[in-house]
Structure 1
Amino acid sequence: MDAQEKHKIKSQKMKEKVDARVAQAQIEKGLLLVITGNGKGKSTSGFGTVVRCVGHGYKAAVVQFIKGKWESGERNLLEQYGVPFAVMGTGFTWNTQDRAGDIEAATRVWQQAKAFLADPQYHLVLLDELTYMLGYDYLDKEEVLSALKNRPENQSVIVTGRGAIRELRDMADTVSEIKEEKHAFKAGIKARKGVDW
């Protein structure tokens, strides 16, 4: 048997396995995806999925925890396509050093997040950096988990941020952990507009 014939047999076996798994996947529902870990690209991945959603003609909404009021390339683009943004606006917690103010800002933007999570018109809701709000106890964990659990059946949600709590991971349909192997910032390279933000 030559190499081409071996490749064909191997590929056919792989195709049969994949086709069988596709045939078994019959449940249709919105997904809860958690993108966590210490590597770069969690928010970027979430926004890529928002673009995909909007590209298919569905409605999406974005809630940004942690992020400040600075310019965002994602927001610049997506608002033009009708994607609403709710932005906490205080910036990174190590910048404000005001726990009470951060909790107040998180609670305020969480009210907007809850409205998105209760609205079936949104096919996808991105909760960018929500993990920090749970890890720092800025939001009530049970309230957040309940809102995620009780959202419309066909609504998908993406939660990003480092240190996703166990309860969130357990509830999720898909969890991706992004690992840092190397980061330009650690080599003294500035964040780049259009690439990092």
Structure 2
Amino acid sequence: RCPEVPFHIMGTGFTWETQDRERDIEAALQAWEKAEKLLTDESLHLVLLDELTYVLKYGWVEQERIFTALRNRPREQSVIITGRAASKALCDLADTVSNIDVEKHAFHAGIKARKGIEW
């Protein structure tokens, strides 16, 4: 049985459409504080950090803060990080790196970010 962990943390919609960088930074910092706690919880065997590459790309949270938490996570904890254009530094830190190509995406059909899917 898995412990209940909230999956919705940031929830600001599509980041490339932002009109308020400061709000995005604040949301990312609040989300990262929650993620840091998950990354210290030995009872969690899997943590999904969806779209974390954008947090790094846009510099919303200091890279070394993120990398330190990832390096120091419990030994038996796996972390999945999603997002496009992962940096070489992030890939070097990872145990496994996979590329997934988009064949079709709802955004291109005019479907906006949906709760439970994108946030």
**TM-score, with structure 1 as normaliser:** 0.52
Cα 1:187–1:118 shift into 2, 3 Å:
closer
Indicate yes or no: 2:104 matched with 1:183: yes
1:85 Cα deviation (Å)? 2.6
Amino acid at match of 1:117: L
Q: Which residue of 2 aligns with 1:142?
A: 64
Instruction: Indicate yes or no: 2:31 matched with 1:122.
Output: no
Q: Give the structure 2 partner of residue 45 of structure 1.
A: none
CA deviation digits over 1:107-138, x for unaligned, max 9? 01100000010111111111011110001111
Answer whether contact 1:118 1:151 (CA < 8 A) is retained.
yes
1:1-197 alignment runs, 5 A limit: 57-59=1-3, 82-180=4-102, 182-183=103-104, 185=106, 188=109, 190=111
Give the % identical residues. 50
Deviates more, 1:86-95 or 1:168-177: 86-95
Gaps of at least 5 residues in structure 1 are 1-56, 60-81
1:126-172 Cα offsets, whole Å, 9 max, x none, are 10111100011111001100100011111111101111111110111
Q: Report how many aligned residue pairs link the two structures.
A: 115
Q: CA RMSD in A?
A: 2.4
Distance 2:2 2:69 in 1: 21
TM-score of the pair, normalised by structure 2:
0.83
User: Structure 1 or 2: larger helix share?
Assistant: 1
**Per-residue displacement from partner, 1:44-82 (whole Å, max 9, x unpaired)?**
xxxxxxxxxxxxx344xxxxxxxxxxxxxxxxxxxxxx2
3-state DSSP of counterpart to 1:105: helix
Would you identify which runs of 4 or more consecutive aligned residues in structure 1 move more than 3 Å? 184-191
Task: Give structure 2 stretches of 5+ with no counterpart.
Answer: none
- Quote the offset at 1:184 in angstroms: 5.7
Larger strand proportion of the pair: 1
The CA deviation string for residues 158-191 of structure 1, in whole angstroms up to 9 with x for no partner, is 10111111111011111110123x3265874758
Letter in 1 for 2:16: W
